[in-house]
Amino acid sequence: MMQQRPWHISRIVTHLFAGVALAVLTGCGGPLSVEKPLRREKISDGVSRKIIIEDKFTWAQSFTRISAETPDGEQRFRVQVRSKQDSILWAAISDDMIGLRVGKAIVINDSAAFSSTLLGVEWTGSAHDLAGVTGIEVPFQYLNRLLRGQLIGTNEALRYRYDGNGDHWITQYSISSDRTVTVALDRDLHMSFVLIEDPFESVFIQYKSVDEKTGYPNDIEITVKSQPDYKVTIEVTEIRTGGPFNTPFSL
């Protein structure tokens, strides 16, 4: 006659299988990340997982070409950007044709300043208003994180749902009482697009390619709903990390 298994062993095995089943159903085991993505064969429509978007570099320096297409024509700038994670964004803006320095800007949290000897302008104000001063219609208050391919308004791991039709991981969250952010990640968990919406405006940021070394986006397109004929393209030609980098500025 087969010997009966001891009661305590049977109970341990039962609890072990129950724990494994629970982990599979709830997506336990820590959030996904670029370094730890979900295997492709496990991705299917409607799958829900927590994902964290990590920034590995405290300092970054980007050399960019920014073009702004408007009903009046196209403007082109070369912009050197130096940034410290969640702290400082410094930009030197030059004319793309002749390389003449147009001015310098700095953004620290929600405050900003712009100085131009060429234009005879010295200005301080909010990061939100800097676009109107520089003539470059980008959301400067979010630009540091957008250039790094990071979420705006949070560093937390968020729950995403996989959309098989768009081949994206999608999440939505609020950064204020009337402003929402929708984020899409590709299968490799890099930014695909960000949509920022409030009752008065919506800004769509599309990420077209990624720098393999840093994971930062290197081709970004920005459109604003209230200005459908206005499109800003940011092409990142070089990215350096390490630092700290100088951010000289004075008024």
Dump pLDDT digits (tens) for 23-60.
333 344 577 777 666 665 466 777 889 999 989 999 99
CATH of residue 138:
2.50.20.10
d(CA 73, CA 131): 18
From the list 118, 113, 89, the residue with the least C-alpha distance to 103 is 118
User: Is residue 38 in some structural domain?
Assistant: no
Average pLDDT (1-14) is: 44
- Cα dihedral sign, 142-148-154-160: positive
Q: How much of the chain exceeds pLDDT 90, in percent? A: 44
Residues 6+ apart with CB under 8 A from 187: 37, 40, 43, 167, 169
Q: Which domain holds residue 177?
A: 59-241
In a domain, 122, yes or no: yes
More confident residue, 108 or 226: 108
Could you tell me if 64 and 138 are in contact, meaning their C-beta atoms sit under 8 angstroms apart?
no
- What is the pLDDT at residue 219? 97
Q: Which of 163, 200, 160 is nearest to 180 (CA)?
A: 200
pLDDT at 243: 84
Mean pLDDT, residues 134-146: 78
pTM of this structure = 0.78
Domain assignment present for residue 117? The answer is yes
Which of 8-22, 76-90, 114-128 has the lowest average pLDDT?
8-22
> Is residue 83 situated within a structural domain?
yes
- CB environment 96-135: b (16+ within 10 A), e (fewer): eeeeeebbbbbbbeeebbbbbeeeeeebeeebeebbebbe
* Residue 224 forms part of a structural domain: yes
- What is the model's pLDDT at position 233? 94
Burial of 237 (0-12, 13-18, 19+ CB in 10 A): exposed
Residue 238 vs residue 227, higher pLDDT? 238
Confidence of residue 8 (pLDDT cuts 50, 70, 90): very low
- Asked if residue 121 has pLDDT above 50, the reply is yes
CB atoms within 10 A of CB 168: 18
**Of residues 6 and 193, which shows the higher confidence score?**
193
Of 42, 65, 4, 33, the closest CA to residue 155 belongs to 33
The verdict on residue 45 lying in a domain is no
Q: What's the confidence (pLDDT) of residue 29?
A: 54
Give the integer Cα–Cα distance in Å for 129 and 113: 10
The answer to whether position 156 is within a domain reads yes
Contact between 127 and 110 under an 8 Å Cβ cutoff? The reply is yes
CA distances 121 to 50, 115, 218, Å, are 46, 6, 30
The number of folded domains in the chain is: 1
What mean pLDDT value characterizes the chain? Answer: 82
Q: In degrees, to the nearest 5, what angle opens at C-alpha 34 toward C-alphas 151 and 246? A: 60
